[in-house]
Structure 1
Amino acid sequence: MEKIKRKVIGEPLKSSQITHEKFSVFRGLPILSSDAISSVAYACEEILIVLIPVMGILSYKYLIYVTAAIIALLCILIFSYRQTIDSYPKGGGSYIVSRENLGVTPSLLAGASLTTDYILTVAVSSTAGVAAITSAFPVLLEFRVPLTLLIITIMTVGNLRGVRESAKLFSIPTYFFLFISLLMIAVGVIKYLIYGYVPIETAQVAQMQNTIGDMTLFLFLRAFAAGCTALTGIEAVSDGVANFKAPATKNAKRVLSLLFLIVVVIFGGVSYLSTIYHTTAGGDRTVISQIAGQVFGQNSLLFFVMQFATTLILIMAANTAFSDFPLLLSFIAKDGFAPRQFAKRGDRLSFSNGIILLAVAAAILVIVFKGENHLMLPLYAIGVFISFTLSQSGMVMRWIRTKAPGWKHKAFINGLGATITFITLIVISIVKFKHGAWVVIILIPSLMLLMKRIRRHYAKVARQLSLDNNYFPVFNSNAAKRFIVPVGALNEAVVKTINYAKCLSDDITAFHASTDEEETAKLQEKWDKYEMGIPLIVREVDYREVVNPLVDFIENGDFRQSKKDMVTVVIPQFNAEKWWGNALHNQTAMFLRSTLLKRRNIAVISVPFIIENDYDTQNMEKVLEEYTDKECFKCKETEKAQEKKCESEKTEQTDKNSN
């Protein structure tokens, strides 16, 4: 397994190499901006899904107005996050801003919201990527779930290889999408305005002529809320400032500015082309696919190139989450609200535990929702806009508290952003509630509760471990020398374990839980035959269970007088050279160890016995007899030498303790 891991993930990196695992502007743009860039692939479609059933052909007129409103909000968010980058150069985004300015509970709300956001980013982006593939190849529709899981697996492996490796691997597709998208927009506009191309009127467009509704404020807000999926991923750059090369803040702000320019051009361009070519929404073909089919020609080479590029950028959006979520989780873990394993870097200096958790959670979502992208999108936006609102509100409080130069107009911008994002959040929650948004509304508080429970556990552990309690355990020295060896049968592993125990103590007892009278009789016969030199306690059990009888023997006073007395259990542990060999053994030692370690004042020592594949298994009884005759009991000189060695070690230990 270790060899496979090294081939797939790569050799471990030194901690000193962390400075080389940073983004430049060129690498950081595609990795941290791909989520926002990819959102244009389905944001326009989400707007049309709201407008077309009500307004029909008039939807294309108001599509531009909704797009303009979303771009205006984007301007506010970009300005705000530039200020966040300046104020928090170590990253952390909404979570850190909320913690520093709003308190613990708002920060947990931000953390839980971003957690759901990033998990949904991977699930939504991967399924959207597969949707682009199935638009070009409808025959693959029935395989969309396996294809999505395959994409998530590839992204996971790529990110486990480290930040620099993932940047090299995943930056090209983003730039490829940017090039082909700009080409499609340019050709589409020129083809329509200069060459007078007449769009193909499909049956769906013809049906729209009969649907003419009125634009209401609520309908506009619904369309605006749906299209705000184009803003997802904007916070990723401020979350990941720590991943940039020095000067980190300057490079992060450059990436944020480039991101703004790209989203405005591509989102605005795609929306404009949708009004020209009258794309529909909600079918098996995406809006991008329909535009590319009319601009480049259906089934042309560039059409398939566009579909391929769209698939890649949607997959890269998932990579943004793989870059930011583990970093966010490390901040939460350092504060004690998530397991501490998520704060540790892996072999390749990435937060590998967070990467694996993200992949597993996203895969579960894909399976539950059967790879349906539209079913997950209503869940997607809520977490995003909660984090937007908290980040903006936190920055307002920061300006009010610090009163830095120009704080009034900065607070006004952040306050305006907080107000608009909060209104959008309310609209999304109401409109999308029955479509699945209720899941996120329940999930986020549940995650917050879980985070608080984790923090409470760590606080409890810290209090009990603190030396301020003025409690220093003192053990009965005689009782602490009591050793017990669980015995199922007499074999080389048990003999090795007993010999090891003899080097540590003179007070050793062997314990056997009898579940079979015949096997117990054989054990007793061998025990007497080979003169093991320590007492064997046999307890008959009625339910074929060996773990609890040992615990009862230790706890009920037969073996120790007080529960404060230390007892050491020395367990023979079988281990096979090959990984599959362990599955062929019942692993009693593992279960016994896990049970005993939950008891106070019981120490556990495992003595390994490696089962070699090429070991001569013939005449096993003879081998055991020869081993015990020569090495353990019959050879008096060896026995005396062993006793002298053990006595010498005990004397040395006593001298050290006295000194």
Structure 2
Amino acid sequence: MLSKLGRLLIGRSLKTTELKSEKFNVLWGLPVLSSDAISSVAYAGEEILWVLIPVLGIMSYKYMFYSALCVVFLMIMVTLSYRQTIDAYPQGGGSYIVAKDNLGTVSGLVAGASLTIGYILTVAVSTSAGTAAIISAIPFLSPHRVTITLFFIFIITIGNLRGIRESSKVFGTPTYIFMAVILCMIIVGIFKVKVFGYVPKPVYKIPEVVSNITLLLFIRAFSSGCTALTGIEAVSNGIPSFKEPSQKNARIVLELLALVVLIIFGGVSYLSTLYHTVPNTEVTVIAQLASQIFGHNIMFYLVQITTTIILIMASNTAFTGLPLLLAFIAKDGFAPRQFAKRGKRLGYSNGIVILCIISSILVIIFNGETHSLMPLYAVGVFISFTLSQAGMFKRWVKLKNTGWRHKAVINGIGAIVTFATAVILGITKFLQGAWIVFILIPAVVYIMVEINRHYKKVAQQLKLAVNERPKEIDFTKQKRYVIVPIDTLNRSFLKALNYARTISNNIIVFHVSIDDEATARLLSKWHEYDIGIPIVVKKSAYRSVVGPLVKFIESEEYAAGSKDTVTVVLPQFVVTRWWGNILHNQTALFIKTMLLRRRNIAIVTVPYIIFEDNEECLKK
């Protein structure tokens, strides 16, 4: 049943040789890897107004535009810097690889941890913002905010588990539609005011001025608008996801992304200054602009629908970038190696699933409120930006190859600007929740280091020396001891006992008695069948099965010595229904878990298939 459902949702398994066809070209790489950055225009300008409006009132719109210009300048610097990263590191990996290669392992892990947190927050923020767009158009859905957001995360997860090629077409088309609709709104909105003389009327009352602009207030507004830059690094992370020539295609996508964000973010910010939008938790700034420019007609709902879709699609950038990043980290031994394995559809499915789970938990904790999640959002991203630019600067200075000076200048300025932004974000957003990020990043780095230490210990203990050879053992003189635990005498046990007979003559059947009546019935049946193998019965006052078994093996009562290997043969049911495992095999699982820790005990599991259909059982 589960396998059929899996095939229905995810599709058939793909061969490894089909990997080349599961990559992006420029047409589909732009919307999929850039959807996060493109969608940021839906809330980045709004975040600036959240800071300015309560203090400056009508004067907010002047300084909002200045803040937007600073964000655009920063975006250009980051884009130029990451363009050089693409040229220098064609294998991808972005900030993690650059920082690790040039600044050391710890810096690389900090960058990797920062990006990991950023990607998780991207999913939570984007899908929550998409839900907010729906509620702006259909207010009565507000009580179901969290449920709707979790549904969107689930849909994106399934789409990505289906593979790169299918997800790119499904998630890429809405991004292009959004770009077209927003560009149309920008053009119509500007013409309506500048050419046709329309005088906008704010949808909501603008608060009174309570103070003047200060440097600190402007910096806070700028830092809030920096969410528009999230997602830019995804292109450099995902170079291996592009078709050949992968570097060239990634570079083109990065340049197109910068151009699109420049036009859309700048345009929407300018519209906000013309139409005097006022941010609130019920109706988004984009919804206010659409209602003023188009009225409540089909275009208004088209803007809301496409905005909702692009905000949800923005999380697809994280679903593309984080699994690839985790694969790089896992290959270096700092994350579970399962993250480096491709799934049935050739994607890194383990990374996709873990991203779905953690982001869903975040949505539940923060009740799907975008504004509550924002303070956590951009801090980690700018830390990774800074480490990447600093790493590239050091690389150019060290290599001193052709044109290194102007490259070092670009990355040097990028490092300074992004570091300053990270500091500003850390200070201004610290009490609003950014302090959590400063705890999470060291915690994640510590976990990565511990994982790597574990892998090194395992490798050291398993490593064979060059001159190491198998020991010469006279197996004819070695005794083989076998224990077959029994609960009830049935076909499953008999199959396990028959196997035990093929490997040894020194067999003991072991029973732990926790019910006198059940034990009496077992012994009566045992003597009735007269199998000819001794059965040992030990009572367990505390109903433990494993304890008496281990105690018996280690006691002088048992013939095997401390250096002898004892094989424990366990019968195990194999059921044909997924829920059957819940009903069976729990005792066998506990026995295996405990015995696996003992060096002198080998465990063999003998399966016995249980069919739900009796007719099918007879055929077999």
TM over 0.5: yes
> How many angstroms apart in 1 are the aligned matches of 2:135 and 2:468?
66
Pick from 316, 323, 326 the counterpart of residue 326 of structure 1. Answer: 323
> How many angstroms apart in 2 are the aligned matches of 1:219 and 1:476?
83
For residue 544 of structure 1, report the CA deviation from its aligned partner: 1.4
**Percent identical:** 56
Q: Structure 1 170/283 Cα, relative in aligned 2: closer, same or farther at 3 Å? A: same
Matches within 5 A, 1:129-168: 129-168=130-169
> How many angstroms apart in 2 are the aligned matches of 1:168 and 1:388?
29
Pick from 250, 253, 264 the counterpart of residue 251 of structure 2. Answer: 253
Q: Which position in structure 1 is the counterpart of 2:506?
A: 507
Q: Which position in structure 2 is the counterpart of 1:241?
A: 239
> How many angstroms apart in 2 are the aligned matches of 1:389 and 1:184?
35
Pick from 413, 421, 439 the counterpart of residue 416 of structure 1. Answer: 413
Q: Which position in structure 2 is the counterpart of 1:525?
A: 524
> How many angstroms apart in 1 are the aligned matches of 2:172 and 2:456?
42
Q: Given residue 441 of structure 2, which amino acid in structure 1 is its aligned partner?
A: I
Q: Deviations over 1:520-548 (max 9, x none)?
A: 11211221111212111111110112122
> How many angstroms apart in 2 are the aligned matches of 1:596 and 1:557?
19
> How many angstroms apart in 2 are the aligned matches of 1:480 and 1:245?
60
Q: Deviations over 1:297-331 (max 9, x none)?
A: 0x211101100000011111100000010000000
> How many angstroms apart in 2 are the aligned matches of 1:441 and 1:560?
59
Q: Which position in structure 2 is the counterpart of 1:66?
A: 67
For residue 550 of structure 1, report the CA deviation from its aligned partner: 1.1
> How many angstroms apart in 2 are the aligned matches of 1:432 and 1:126?
22
Q: Give unpaired runs (5+ residues) of structure 2.
A: none
Which deviates more, 520-529 or 27-36? 520-529
Q: Given residue 280 of structure 1, which amino acid in structure 2 is its aligned partner?
A: V
For residue 469 of structure 1, report the CA deviation from its aligned partner: 8.9
Aligned to 2:345, what secondary structure does the other structure show? Answer: coil
Q: Deviations over 1:84-130 (max 9, x none)?
A: 00000110000000011000000000010000000000000000000
C-alpha contact 1:31 1:167 (8 A) present in aligned 2 = yes
C-alpha contact 2:560 2:566 (8 A) present in aligned 1 = no
C-alpha contact 1:510 1:534 (8 A) present in aligned 2 = yes
For residue 557 of structure 1, report the CA deviation from its aligned partner: 4.1
C-alpha contact 2:489 2:525 (8 A) present in aligned 1 = yes
Q: Given residue 126 of structure 1, which amino acid in structure 2 is its aligned partner?
A: T
C-alpha contact 1:177 1:310 (8 A) present in aligned 2 = yes
Pick from 182, 203, 211 the counterpart of residue 209 of structure 2. Answer: 211
Q: Which position in structure 2 is the counterpart of 1:106?
A: 107
For residue 202 of structure 1, report the CA deviation from its aligned partner: 4.2
C-alpha contact 2:204 2:278 (8 A) present in aligned 1 = no
For residue 45 of structure 1, report the CA deviation from its aligned partner: 0.4
Q: Structure 1 178/616 Cα, relative in aligned 2: closer, same or farther at 3 Å? A: closer
1:189 and 2:190 equivalent?
Answer: yes
> How many angstroms apart in 2 are the aligned matches of 1:574 and 1:19?
41
Q: Which position in structure 2 is the counterpart of 1:285?
A: 283
Aligned to 2:570, what secondary structure does the other structure show? Answer: strand
Q: When the two structures are superposed, what TM-score results if normalisation uses the length of structure 2?
A: 0.97
1:307 and 2:308 equivalent?
Answer: no
Q: Structure 1 585/166 Cα, relative in aligned 2: closer, same or farther at 3 Å? A: same
Q: Deviations over 1:392-440 (max 9, x none)?
A: 0000010011101111121111111111111111111111111111111
Q: What is the total number of aligned residue pairs between the two structures?
A: 615
Pick from 391, 394, 410 the counterpart of residue 394 of structure 1. Answer: 391
> How many angstroms apart in 2 are the aligned matches of 1:555 and 1:88?
57
Pick from 439, 445, 455 the counterpart of residue 442 of structure 1. Answer: 439
Aligned to 1:468, what secondary structure does the other structure show? Answer: coil
Q: Which position in structure 2 is the counterpart of 1:428?
A: 425
C-alpha contact 1:382 1:425 (8 A) present in aligned 2 = yes
Q: Give unpaired runs (5+ residues) of structure 1.
A: 618-622, 624-659
Q: Which position in structure 2 is the counterpart of 1:627?
A: none
C-alpha contact 2:238 2:321 (8 A) present in aligned 1 = yes
C-alpha contact 2:203 2:277 (8 A) present in aligned 1 = no
1:555 and 2:532 equivalent?
Answer: no
> How many angstroms apart in 2 are the aligned matches of 1:328 and 1:559?
53
Q: Given residue 285 of structure 2, which amino acid in structure 1 is its aligned partner?
A: V
For residue 203 of structure 1, report the CA deviation from its aligned partner: 4.6
> How many angstroms apart in 2 are the aligned matches of 1:263 and 1:301?
25
> How many angstroms apart in 1 are the aligned matches of 2:470 and 2:480?
16
Aligned to 1:230, what secondary structure does the other structure show? Answer: helix
Structure with greater Cα Rg: 1
Matches within 5 A, 1:11-50: 11-50=12-51
Q: Deviations over 1:446-465 (max 9, x none)?
A: 00000000000000001100
Q: Which position in structure 1 is the counterpart of 2:268?
A: 270
Aligned to 1:405, what secondary structure does the other structure show? Answer: coil
Q: Given residue 95 of structure 2, which amino acid in structure 1 is its aligned partner?
A: S
Q: Structure 1 566/573 Cα, relative in aligned 2: closer, same or farther at 3 Å? A: same
Which deviates more, 572-581 or 492-501? 572-581
For residue 473 of structure 1, report the CA deviation from its aligned partner: 7.2
C-alpha contact 1:389 1:418 (8 A) present in aligned 2 = yes
C-alpha contact 1:334 1:340 (8 A) present in aligned 2 = yes
Pick from 356, 359, 364 the counterpart of residue 361 of structure 2. Answer: 364
Q: Deviations over 1:319-362 (max 9, x none)?
A: 00000100000000000000000000001000000000000000
Q: When the two structures are superposed, what TM-score results if normalisation uses the length of structure 1?
A: 0.91
Q: Which position in structure 2 is the counterpart of 1:89?
A: 90
Q: Given residue 352 of structure 1, which amino acid in structure 2 is its aligned partner?
A: S
1:76 and 2:74 equivalent?
Answer: no
C-alpha contact 2:161 2:345 (8 A) present in aligned 1 = yes
Q: Which position in structure 1 is the counterpart of 2:404?
A: 407
RMSD of Structure 2 on Structure 1 (CA): 1.7
